[in-house]
Amino acid sequence: MSFNVNAKKTQTFGGNTPVWLEVRGVKPAGGSLIDAYIEEGRIYPAGTPVYLDGMGGNLVPFEVFELQGDVSSGQVTVKVAAGSLGTIPNTDTVFMLMPATGWVGAKAAAPSAVQIDASGFYDLTITADDFGDASEGDFLVIADSSSGKTMISKVNGLLWNDIEIEVGATAATGAVVDDGRVLASRIPYISDYAKSVLSNIQFEEE
């Protein structure tokens, strides 16, 4: 596998302003998007935070689900928005509160039911204290399991180019930048902690 991307597109904003101001280093071999993110019509834009688990390995996007109200430890329903990359919550997905630092949380659980409301948000039915206390605007992230309580995407780079999942596609590959300069306001959400571990990437404002 080389530094190519299947179904590559060039991403520009506002008069051909690129996401990347400079690319100085790319992880060897790139990786393949995990199956959960292979969905026809979805686009993962250049600059998306990702985790690559090894040369030519699995490529996992970093995605957040914003809480639409405060959460107390006794609640049995939690309201969230769809994922920042378009993922719809479901009962097969294990969620945890996004840690302020590191990649491991105190609690993680899969909802027993998911229902969309009239505003387009999603009500997750949980067991009391599955997530503890949280505030509106905080984020849930996807965990590897309810027992592991570790985020599936730990973030060790940003996508170099767009990945577009075309009709009939069963796989997609992407290259990961770990050294460069990027326009911070033009990429998907990335946490402050994730920025801090990408020490060779400069997040610049316009």
What CATH number is associated with residue 46?
2.40.300
Percentage with pLDDT > 70 across the chain: 92
pLDDT in tens, 102-135: 999 999 999 999 999 999 999 999 999 999 999 9
Tell me the residue range of the domain where 25 lies: 12-58+153-204
Q: Within this chain, do residues 67 and 136 fall inside the same structural domain, yes or no? A: yes
Q: How far apart are CA 136 and CA 133, in angstroms?
A: 10
174 assigned to some structural domain: yes
Q: Within this chain, do residues 170 and 95 fall inside the same structural domain, yes or no? A: no
**Which pLDDT score is estimated for 16?**
42
Q: Within this chain, do residues 70 and 144 fall inside the same structural domain, yes or no? A: yes
Partners of residue 204 on adjacent β-strands = 183
Q: Within this chain, do residues 146 and 173 fall inside the same structural domain, yes or no? A: no
Q: How far apart are CA 124 and CA 45, in angstroms?
A: 28
Q: Within this chain, do residues 68 and 46 fall inside the same structural domain, yes or no? A: no
What is the band of 17 on the pLDDT scale with cuts at 50, 70, 90? low
DSSP per position, 9-76: ---EETTTEESEEEEEEE-TT-EEE-GGG--TT-EE-TT-EEEE-STT-EEEE--EEEBSS-B-TT-S
Q: Within this chain, do residues 125 and 45 fall inside the same structural domain, yes or no? A: no
Q: Within this chain, do residues 75 and 133 fall inside the same structural domain, yes or no? A: yes
pLDDT over threshold 60, residue 75: yes
Q: Within this chain, do residues 30 and 41 fall inside the same structural domain, yes or no? A: yes
7 assigned to some structural domain: no
Percentage with pLDDT > 90 across the chain: 90
Domain boundary at 152, 171, 192, which? 152
**Which pLDDT score is estimated for 56?**
95
Phi and psi for 178 in degrees, rounded to 5? Answer: -125, 10
Q: Which of 23, 41, 36, 35 is nearest to 175 (CA)?
A: 23
Q: Within this chain, do residues 79 and 115 fall inside the same structural domain, yes or no? A: yes
Domain total in the chain: 2
**Longest Cα separation, the chain:** 50
**Which pLDDT score is estimated for 170?**
93
2 assigned to some structural domain: no
